[in-house]
A and B are shown apart, each in its own frame.
Chain A
Amino acid sequence: MAAHLPYEYIYLRYKKKFPHVWCPGCGIGIVMGSIIRAVDFMKWNMNDILLVSGIGCTSRMPVYLDFNTLHTTHGRALAFGTGAKLANPSLKVIAVMGDGDALAIGGNHLIHSARRNIEITTIVVNNNNYGMTGGQFSPTTPVGALTTTTPYGMMEPVFDICSLAGGAGAVYVGRSTVFHVMELDKIIAGALSKDGFSLVEVMSPCPTNYGRANRIGDAVKMMESLQENTVTIAQAEKLSPEQREGKIVRGVFVDRDDNEGYTSRYGKLCAKAAEEVSRREVH
């Protein structure tokens, strides 16, 4: 390792797999940087980390990171991750998915993973559309927005990812953007530190598809709009309902310790089952 390289390089397969597939102006690389810094902050051994993903732009991330990496089928990252985590609870499992991957085809796995409280940290990169297939609408495309499959404007309401995950039982839920990188690093580190299902929604621009279709401007303009259109929880509390209209709130919405993780509960179940069986055999 050359001494002048930033420490993030330790975690990259930088000699093998770069350049990456993401478009100029895409925010997914910034999320990858945040994940690296959060993992480094946790001082986890790379051998213990399993990074699992589904299909889509975000789900191409595992190939670039020098962990145990698993690029699965569309929407199923959490199902594969659940199997791996339960089979080997010492693995630190991180799932990365896009909005379509996590909420449409993988929506059922998401809510049940949250309900089970399986110890997985899920990072959902929300760029408001399906980027890899050329910009179709997703469950997070805002009403009225144009995509290749909503040529007359999106008419379906959106999912609120954070409310969904919190409602389904996640022990830690946060939202940030690729503009607010320092905040994002902290929120992801907070998610990694939980022994349960944690989820971080990261708002990220897709200038190539979503930005172009909706004439939002270039990547820089989209980044600026992440700054302009979002407020922290504290800021939101001070705003009048009119001022809050259209603003997206950033911060940690759920952070609880009253729900034991799945593999921990499963371990207790095994002990109870073994005790019951041995008691039966004695009688």
Chain B
Amino acid sequence: MSGVPWGETRLVQGNEAVALGAIASGIDFFAGYPITPSTEVAEILARELPPMGGKWIQMEDEIASVSAIVGASLAGARSMTATSGPGFSLMQEGLGYACMTEVPIVIVNVMRAGPSTGLPTQVSQADVMQARWGTHGDHPVIALVPCSVAECFHLTVKAFHLAEAFRTPVIVLSDEIIGHMRERFTFPAKGEVQPVPLSEPNVPVEWYEHYHHTASGVSPMARFGRGYRFHVTGLTHDIHGFPTRRIDEVVPKMNRLKQKITRRLDVLEHNEELGVQESGVVIFAYGSVYRSALAAREILARKKKKVGVFRPVTIWPFPDKTVKKNLDNKDVIVVCELNQGQLIHEVERLTSDQVRVVPLQRYDGYGITPEQIVSKVMEVS
């Protein structure tokens, strides 16, 4: 195969869909380091990018990989890397740098079981909090969680768009099941997905401010080598990018970093709800577990047991308002995740004491089955 098979229906693997989604988004640059279970993304792009003139490089480690994509992005390339838990840990340094310097990049983390080397070939969702808080310091994060091969494609495209629109790193949190699963997928017709346009400043060179204050918090970004000579540093900086310790420059920078994300939940929030309004019992699930939740809902319906399913697709920023509005009036929320309890704390934070928030957790390297969800629902409601 060569390029995106526009309009065709095929049996596609999740990681393959990520790679093809990146190509559909106009990826110019990939840097990575081999790691199970994400390696197919790198392998497919190693085959696809060179004939298209795209840049692909295998770096000496994951720190170098994330650093290279930040450098490439600043030099005008739509850039991505793909990794898994241990590599994602190493990338936290560059992720924080990209947050601070407001450089658009896409990081795909195909989650496997940890901590440390853990169960390298088996699934988990235990990097949810690492995605949110893994790098040091206050910082904004956007993380998207696909639940299917189709979403691996479409959310990768979305990640490239959001990274550019918000000038920030965007994380695609896939998992081993989704990454290695093969499903029937119909690629969009040619022209339906366009390469992400890169912003360009339209001011004279001498007026350019690399971190110009705008109402949205995001300003068009110049790239190296196009006549706008600017400074980029991980030190806290002023609107020109030069280091500063002035309180009247530090605080606005920090506020803008946060608010450019938190004030745009209208654009970023992305949930899926099935029968939530009319059910007293709701299954909260995301990623591969969502598929089991859908199957469980059907089994329960046959048993005349009505349950709703709530899934955040964008998990960071977390959909606070919607969870509070739609779930705080429920009897029971069963939070299913492949870890020892991560997003459940967000649900607990947003619901009052009358709502029973029940965990269903699995962290043995296997997925949660529909039967497990069914029996948990029967047990608690």
Tell whether, in the assembled complex, residue B67 and residue A47 are in contact, meaning their CB atoms are under 8 Å apart.
no
| Cβ of A80 to closest chain B Cβ, rounded Å | 4
Q: Which of B2, B61, B76, B230 contacts A88 (CB 8 A)?
A: B76
Stretch among B15-23, B48-56, B166-174, B350-358 lining the A interface: B48-56
Say whether A86 contacts B29, CB under 8 Å: yes
What distance in Å separates the Cβ of A79 from its nearest Cβ neighbour in chain B?
4
With A79-B64, A83-B69, A88-B225: A270-B50 Cβ-Cβ less than 8 Å: yes
Pair B233/A83 contact, Cβ less than 8 Å: no
B97 at the interface (CB under 8 A from A): yes
CB of A17 closer than 8 Å to a CB of B:
yes
Residues of B within 8 A of A277 (CB): 2, 51
Scoring A46, A67, A76, A276 by chain B CB atoms within 10 A of each residue's CB, the highest score goes to: A76
Q: Find out whether the CB atom of B229 lies under 8 angstroms from the CB atom of A67.
A: yes
Within 8 A of B (CB), among A235-265: none
Selected from A47, A70, A73, A76, the residue in CB contact (under 8 A) with B226 is A47
Candidates A71, A79, A82, A276; contact of B231 at CB < 8 Å: A71
Q: Which of B50, B59, B67, B223 contacts A73 (CB 8 A)?
A: B67
Q: What are the residues of chain B within 8 A of A90 when measuring CB–CB?
A: 225
Chain B residues lying within 8 Å of A80, measured Cβ to Cβ, are 67-68, 70-71
The reply to whether B76 and A269 form a contact with Cβ atoms under 8 Å apart is no
In Å, the complex CA distance between A72 and B230 comes to 14
Between-chain CB contacts (< 8 Å), 30 pairs: A16-B240, A47-B225, A50-B75, A63-B243, A68-B225, A71-B235, A73-B97, A76-B67, A76-B93, A76-B94, A79-B71, A82-B64, A82-B68, A82-B71, A83-B31, A83-B72, A84-B71, A84-B72, A84-B224, A86-B55, A86-B68, A86-B72, A87-B73, A88-B77, A109-B60, A266-B50, A274-B50, A274-B51, A274-B52, A274-B53
A47, A86, A90 interface centre (most CB from chain B within 10 Å): A86
Asked whether A81 is an interface residue with its Cβ less than 8 Å from the other chain, the reply is: yes
Interchain CA distance A17-B240 in the complex, whole Å? 12
Separation in Å of the A67 CB from the closest CB of chain B? 6
- In angstroms, Cα B31 to Cα A80, docked, is 11
Partner of B225, one of A48, A62, A79, A269: A48
Q: Do residues B59 and A79 form an inter-chain contact, with CB atoms below 8 A?
A: yes
Q: Which residues of A contact B31 (CB under 8 A)?
A: 83
A70 and B79 contact, CB distance less than 8 A: no
Q: Say whether, besides A68-B229, A71-B232, A84-B224, A91 and B2 are in contact (CB < 8 Å).
A: no
Most A Cβ at <10 Å: residue of B29, B65, B75, B76: B75
A228 proximal to B (CB < 8 A): no
Please, which residues of chain B bring their CB within 8 A of the CB of A66?
Answer: 229
Q: Shortest distance in angstroms between A195's beta carbon and chain B's nearest beta carbon?
A: 17
What is the minimal beta-carbon distance from A25 to any residue of chain B, in angstroms?
Answer: 23
- Once the chains are docked, how many angstroms separate the CA of A80 from the CA of B70? 7
B57 at the binding interface (Cβ < 8 Å): yes
In whole angstroms, how far apart are the Cα atoms of A73 and B29 in the complex? 20
Across the interface, A71 reaches (CB within 8 A) one of B76, B229, B234, namely B234
Q: Within the complex, what minimum Cβ distance (angstroms) separates B65 from chain A? A: 8
> Which interface residue of B28, B51, B57, B69 has the most chain A CB atoms within 10 A?
B51
Q: Is A281 part of the contact surface with B, judged by Cβ < 8 Å?
A: yes
CB of A52 within 8 Å of the partner chain: yes
Q: Please, what's the 1-or-0 string for B10-51, where 1 marks a CB less than 8 Å from any CB in chain A?
A: 000000000000000000110100000000000000000011
Contact of B57 among A47, A86, A273 (CB under 8 A): A86
**Do A87 and B63 touch across chains, with their CB atoms under 8 A apart?**
no
Q: How far is the CB of A74 from chain B (nearest CB, A)?
A: 9
Q: Verify B71–A52 contact, CB threshold 8 A.
A: yes
Q: Does B145 contact A (CB under 8 A)?
A: no
Size of the chain B interface, CB-CB below 8 angstroms = 46
**Residue numbers in B under 8 Å from A73 (CB-CB):** 67, 93-94, 97, 234
Point out which of A84, A108, A269 has the most chain B C-beta atoms below 10 A from its C-beta: A84
Contact B242 A17 (CB under 8 A): yes
**Residues from 215 to 232 in B contacting A, C-beta threshold 8 Å:** 223-227, 229-232
* B59-A82 in contact (CB<8A): yes
**In the bound complex, CA of A66 to CA of B227 (Å):** 11
For A91, list chain B residues within 8 Å (CB).
75, 224-225
Shortest Cβ gap from A197 to chain B (Å): 14
Q: What are the nearest 8 A-B pairs in CB distance?
A: A83-B71, A83-B68, A79-B67, A80-B71, A87-B72, A273-B50, A83-B72, A71-B233
Interface string of A84-110 (1 = CB under 8 A from B): 111110110000000000000000110
Q: Does A72 contact B97, Cβ atoms closer than 8 Å?
A: yes
Task: Find out whether the CB atom of A46 lies under 8 angstroms from the CB atom of B74.
Answer: no
Which residues of A sit under 8 angstroms from B57, Cβ to Cβ?
A: 82-83, 86
A276: chain B residues at CB < 8 Å are 51
Contact (A70, B225) CB under 8 Å given A86-B57, A109-B64: no
- The docked-state distance in angstroms from the alpha carbon of A282 to that of B258 is 52
Collect the chain B residues with CB atoms within 8 Å of residue A68's CB.
224-225, 229-230
Query: Which residues of B in the span 259-293 have a Cβ within 8 Å of any Cβ on A?
Result: none
Is the C-beta of A208 less than 8 angstroms from some C-beta in chain B?
no
B94 touches A50 (CB 8 A): no
CB distance from A135 to the nearest CB of B (A): 21
9 further A-B contacts with Cβ under 8 Å, apart from A108-B60, A266-B55, are A47-B229, A50-B224, A63-B231, A68-B224, A71-B235, A73-B94, A83-B75, A85-B75, A266-B50
Q: A112 in the interface, Cβ–Cβ < 8 Å?
A: yes
A119 to chain B, nearest CB (A): 13
Instruction: Please state if A70 and B232 are interface contacts (CB–CB under 8 Å).
Output: yes
- A274, chain B: closest CB distance, angstroms: 4
In the complex, chain A residues whose CB is within 8 Å of the CB of B75: 50, 83-85, 87-88, 91
Once the chains are docked, how many angstroms separate the CA of A108 from the CA of B242? 29
